[in-house]
A and B are shown apart, each in its own frame.
Chain A
Amino acid sequence: MAGRYAGLFGIQLRMSTLAAMQYRVDFLVRGLIAMLWSAITLIPLLVVYGARKEVAGWSLNEALVVVAWFTLLRAVLEGAVSPSLTAVVEHVRKGTLDFVLLKPADAQFLVSTAKFEPWRLIDVAGALVIFSYAFAKIGHWPSPAQVVTGLVFLALAVLILYSIWILVVSAAFWVIKVDNLSYLFGSLFDVGRWPIDVLRGVWRGTLTMVFTFVFPVALMTTYPALALLGRLDGKTALLALAGGGVFAVVARWVWQRALAMYTSASS
């Protein structure tokens, strides 16, 4: 079972890569733009830290670790998660989801792996560069245990990202047009660029709560950064992991409910 899905995953990945490689110039240009874009997004951070040595308890280099996580996750989001799921919305609108549902494999798996954008790998490289720079400046590298915690959090973050996206796409079964929702998602995700503590002063921390529990950007970037920096205690880590798990289960359940609602376009 697992072997079969791994094989399917490989095939889907290969198809996307082949498709992307057909347009080599586009591949390069988009890669370059992605890099430029990452550089541009660093400017606000540098300006803020040009004015102050420390903001809400975070130094520049520590904040850079958050930015690196953010860059990495955005690469995952825009390279692996959102292209496929945007395609689902199109399927639902046109009624071609039938063809997917007819295939002898799990529909959620099929639609989630339908499309990858390999040039986002350049962003991953960018994230690694920022990580290296930040830790070189801080002066000590994370211990193996901290790296492992960080990787576990990476997995959790991807799971949460994916779950939120599945929720957004499920909305497509009810409201059809969700491009706007995906933009909203993108704009909220952008908050993850900053350590969550900078929002602590707003409405006595209400915003911090929202971005930790309702739309858990903090779990995706700030907590992993804390883990790498060795500032995260075990209890918080376990709670965060449990929360992420619950999120994924709920998303899967909603997807199945939504799928039951699907009435093909011709019927």
Chain B
Amino acid sequence: MTAADTAGGPTPDPPSVAAELARAARAFPALLRVGVAEVVAYRAEFLVWILTTNMPLVMLALWHAVAADGPVGRFDQARFTAYYLGVLVVRLATSNWMAWQMSMEIRDGTLSAKLLRPIHPLYAYAADHISAVPMRLVVVSPIVAILFATSWGRLVRHDPRLLLILAASIAGAWLLMYFSMVLLGSLAFYVDSAMGVFELWIGLHGLFSGYLIPLEVMPRWFRALADVLPFRFMLAFPVETLVGLLSPGQALRQLAAQWIYIAVLGVLAMRVWRAGVKRFAAFGG
């Protein structure tokens, strides 16, 4: 990607998706290098940010106290341990708070610089996020080690179908988080302050994704609601597959639901983004 690509001014026809993807693929290694350098430069902040994800451990301690005198439903102490460690791993691998960055860049006009670049801003955001993966792995691997050490017998190991579904579900969780962040972030094109909506989203996500409490121990009406909302497919589904709470049939059905949600949210997010960019009027630049 060179300066010559941009020098010709705005092109009259938007490039096809395939051409755009091919371009992005060429730029990806460079974007990743920049991203990794950034994460390394701000490593202290990165670690502090990781430490912020301590809620599952607090909830684990709480449920341990609760389950001390007998299991809650299918959950005994050991299963709670496996579940919450799984939550930590999946959450650290897939969590994504891009909406905050997007809304800030839309408001203060930094986005216009990104729009000028010959690569779609949404790919740039995605690259930003993916480039943190090596650092994330560094943080996640000790947790995985603890998970294996404490709960090896509880994890899904023997069924290759479930292992495949697990891999697909984690990738799907990442995509769902990504698209919902694009959708939320694009709100900043339309309203001045979307912080209230973000807060609401975090609250709903915390409950309906099984982040705070395994959905299984929730009341029946709550579970019915969680089954139709997209949140469970961002976290609870991969974790439940991991700790062996789902049969292959159930897991497969959920996987289908997850990818339907990905398609719907993906299309919706792109639409909203595109319409938003059209009304975007940057300050100064």
Contact of B54 among A47, A50, A187 (CB under 8 A): A187
Q: Which of A28-36, A222-230, A255-263 contacts B (4 or more CB under 8 A)?
A: A28-36
B interface residue count range (under 10 / 10 to 19 / 20 to 34 / 35 or more): 20 to 34
Contact B49 A180 (CB under 8 A): yes
Known contacts A33-B196, A36-B200, A50-B219, A43 near B207 by CB under 8 Å: yes
Q: Which of A51-59, A122-130, A148-156, A243-251 contacts B (4 or more CB under 8 A)?
A: A51-59
Known contacts A48-B62, A51-B66, A187 near B52 by CB under 8 Å: yes
Docked pose: A47 CA to B65 CA in angstroms: 14
Contact A56 B65 (CB under 8 A): yes
Known contacts A37-B199, A180-B45, A180-B48, A47 near B62 by CB under 8 Å: no
Q: Which of B17-25, B139-147, B210-218, B245-253 contacts A (4 or more CB under 8 A)?
A: B210-218
How far in angstroms is the closest Cβ of chain B from A240?
22
B8 at the interface (CB under 8 A from A): no
How far in angstroms is the closest Cβ of chain B from A181?
6
How far in angstroms is the closest Cβ of chain A from B206?
8
Known contacts A56-B65, A180-B45, A37 near B203 by CB under 8 Å: yes
Q: Which residues of A contact B59 (CB under 8 A)?
A: 44
B4 at the interface (CB under 8 A from A): no
B107 at the interface (CB under 8 A from A): no
Contact A181 B55 (CB under 8 A): no
B58 at the interface (CB under 8 A from A): yes
Docked pose: A47 CA to B222 CA in angstroms: 11
A194 at the interface (CB under 8 A from B): yes
How far in angstroms is the closest Cβ of chain A from B59?
8
Contact of B48 among A40, A55, A181, A207 (CB under 8 A): A181
Contact of B49 among A44, A55, A183, A201 (CB under 8 A): A183
How far in angstroms is the closest Cβ of chain A from B113?
21
- A145-168 vs B, Cβ < 8 Å mask (1 yes, 0 no): 000000000000000000000000
Contact B66 A48 (CB under 8 A): yes
A interface residue count range (under 10 / 10 to 19 / 20 to 34 / 35 or more): 35 or more
Contact B45 A177 (CB under 8 A): yes
Q: Which residues of B contact A199 (CB under 8 A)?
A: 58, 61-62, 65
Q: Which residues of B contact A6 (CB under 8 A)?
A: none
28 contacts between A and B (CB under 8 A): A26-B196, A29-B196, A33-B196, A37-B200, A40-B207, A41-B203, A44-B59, A44-B212, A44-B213, A47-B218, A48-B66, A52-B66, A55-B65, A55-B66, A56-B65, A177-B45, A180-B49, A183-B48, A183-B52, A184-B51, A187-B51, A187-B52, A190-B58, A198-B62, A199-B58, A199-B61, A201-B64, A202-B64
How far in angstroms is the closest Cβ of chain B from A187?
5
Q: Which residues of B contact A177 (CB under 8 A)?
A: 42, 45
Interface on chain B toward A: helix, strand, loop, or mixed SS? helix
Query: Which 8 A-B residue pairs are closest in the complex by CB-CB distance?
Result: A180-B48, A40-B203, A51-B72, A187-B52, A202-B61, A198-B65, A33-B196, A56-B65
Q: Which residues of B contact A56 (CB under 8 A)?
A: 65
B68 at the interface (CB under 8 A from A): yes
Contact A184 B207 (CB under 8 A): no
A175 at the interface (CB under 8 A from B): yes
A191 at the interface (CB under 8 A from B): yes
A18 at the interface (CB under 8 A from B): no
Q: Which residues of A contact B222 (CB under 8 A)?
A: 43
Q: Which residues of B contact A198 (CB under 8 A)?
A: 61-62, 65
Docked pose: A51 CA to B212 CA in angstroms: 16
How far in angstroms is the closest Cβ of chain B from A136?
24
7 extra A-B contacts, CB within 8 A, seeds A186-B52, A201-B61: A36-B200, A36-B203, A43-B222, A44-B207, A184-B49, A184-B51, A194-B58
Q: Which residues of A contact B53 (CB under 8 A)?
A: 187
B164 at the interface (CB under 8 A from A): no
Contact A47 B203 (CB under 8 A): no
Docked pose: A175 CA to B66 CA in angstroms: 41
A188 at the interface (CB under 8 A from B): yes
Smallest CB-CB separation from B203: which chain A residue?
A40
Contact A47 B219 (CB under 8 A): yes
Contact B68 A201 (CB under 8 A): yes
- B182-199 vs A, Cβ < 8 Å mask (1 yes, 0 no): 000000000001001001
Contact of B196 among A30, A40, A181 (CB under 8 A): A30
- B51-80 vs A, Cβ < 8 Å mask (1 yes, 0 no): 111110011011111101000100000000
Docked pose: A50 CA to B213 CA in angstroms: 13
Choose among B45, B52, B68 the residue with the greatest number of A CB atoms under 10 Å from its CB. B52
